[in-house]
């Protein structure tokens, strides 16, 4: 009887060991697929980009102020597209980051449970609206208001697109920051209240420092989303690759150009075709640099908090 029980236990142990091995191999496969996908994307982008820079000077690409790759004479200065993208990213950040963080502070520190149950679903609805809807909202609602306030505002302009992108990314910032703040133990808050701190002081001097890493990640994610946004800027910002810092004028972003050129009659292997990959590589590089900076900031803050 003892041998039978021992045999059953050994069989169960072998099954568990086999299951563990299978699970481990499957998880390794998933991780490998992620890595291989990233490598494939990089290879696809930079392979055609190298071909592009064999015909176009990299100095002209980064310092030129005219972008007309499909017109004669051809100009390949990407600065107008880069400045346009940064305008959208900065403008949307001015809208999304303070409002998102403020909404998160209200939901986690001030809002009653009934108010939280109403506001949180509304934010989630905003997050689920397709970006193309935000594009038409910017064109048909935000732009007319701006034209009444600022008559020099063009129909297609960077400001209305920035506001729409900011509204689109606001729920992301608010939700991620609020989740991080709600994860802070109540004992930490009660300790601060016991020392005489107000709600605002608890939020700004206790909760935010404790969740700084998560807040920074939410900010970077929102900015990256704004930089990579396509449909809103394609509809509301226009298709004018001009070098300007005036947000009331029509501009073109990196993603807007990629959409515009992809819809045209461009032959595979031509210099016009390769511009899409060069611009895509630049977009990849900008977002990659942002993530590096964000990681450095987060690591520095962790070292500071750990003493």
Task: Give the domain ranges of the chain.
Answer: 2-54, 67-305
pLDDT for 305 equals: 54
pLDDT for 11 equals: 66
CA–CA separation, 60 and 113 (whole Å): 57
Read off the pLDDT of residues 20-53 as tens digits, 9 standing for 90 and up: 888 888 999 998 998 999 899 888 888 889 988 8
CA–CA separation, 74 and 85 (whole Å): 21
DSSP state of 206: I
DSSP state of 268: T
pLDDT for 6 equals: 67
- Point out the residues of the chain with pLDDT beneath 50: 1-2
Q: What's phi and psi for 68, nearest 5 deg?
A: -140, 70
pLDDT for 264 equals: 65
What are 5's two structure tokens?
Answer: 């029980």
The terminus-to-terminus CA distance of the chain in angstroms comes to 60
3-state secondary structure of 67: strand
pLDDT for 162 equals: 95
CA–CA separation, 188 and 260 (whole Å): 52
pTM, 2 dp:
0.85
CA–CA separation, 11 and 9 (whole Å): 5
pLDDT for 273 equals: 85
146 in Cβ contact with 154 (< 8 Å): no
List Cα–Cα distances, 52 to 33, 82, 110, 244, 282, in angstroms: 29, 18, 55, 26, 13
CATH of 67-305, one of 3.90.230.10, 1.10.3720.10, 1.10.12.10, 3.55.50.30: 1.10.3720.10
pLDDT for 180 equals: 87
pLDDT for 1 equals: 47
pLDDT for 114 equals: 86
pLDDT for 253 equals: 92
């Amino acid at each position: 009887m003892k041998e039978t029980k021992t045999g059953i236990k050994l069989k169960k142990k072998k099954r568990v060991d086999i299951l563990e091995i299978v699970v481990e191999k499957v998880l390794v496969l998933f991780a490998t697929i992620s890595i291989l996908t990233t490598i494939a994307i990089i290879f696809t982008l930079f392979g055609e980009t190298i071909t592009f820079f064999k015909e176009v000077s990299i100095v002209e690409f980064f310092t030129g102020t005219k972008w007309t790759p499909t017109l004669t004479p051809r100009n390949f200065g990407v600065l107008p597209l880069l400045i346009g993208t940064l305008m959208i990213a900065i403008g949307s950040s001015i809208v999304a980051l303070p409002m998102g963080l403020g909404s998160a502070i209200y939901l986690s520190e001030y809002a009653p449970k009934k108010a939280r149950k109403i506001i949180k679903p509304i934010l989630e609805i905003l997050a689920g609206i397709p970006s193309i809807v935000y594009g038409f909202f910017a064109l048909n609602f935000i732009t007319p208001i701006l034209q009444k306030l600022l008559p020099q505002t063009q129909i297609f302009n960077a400001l209305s697109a920035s506001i729409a992108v900011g509204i689109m990314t606001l729920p992301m910032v608010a939700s991620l920051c609020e989740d991080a703040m709600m994860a802070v133990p109540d004992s930490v808050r009660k300790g601060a209240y016991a020392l005489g701190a107000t709600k605002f002081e608890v939020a700004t001097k206790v909760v935010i420092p404790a969740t700084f890493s998560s807040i920074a990640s939410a900010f970077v994610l929102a900015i990256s989303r704004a930089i990579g946004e396509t449909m809103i800027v394609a509809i509301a910002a226009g298709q004018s690759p001009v070098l300007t810092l005036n947000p009331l004028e029509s501009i073109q972003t990196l993603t807007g150009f990629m959409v515009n050129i992809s819809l045209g009659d461009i032959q595979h292997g031509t210099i016009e075709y390769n511009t899409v990959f060069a611009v895509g590589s630049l977009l990849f590089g900008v977002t990659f640099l942002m993530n590096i900076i964000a990681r450095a900031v987060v690591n520095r803050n962790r070292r500071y908090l750990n003493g």
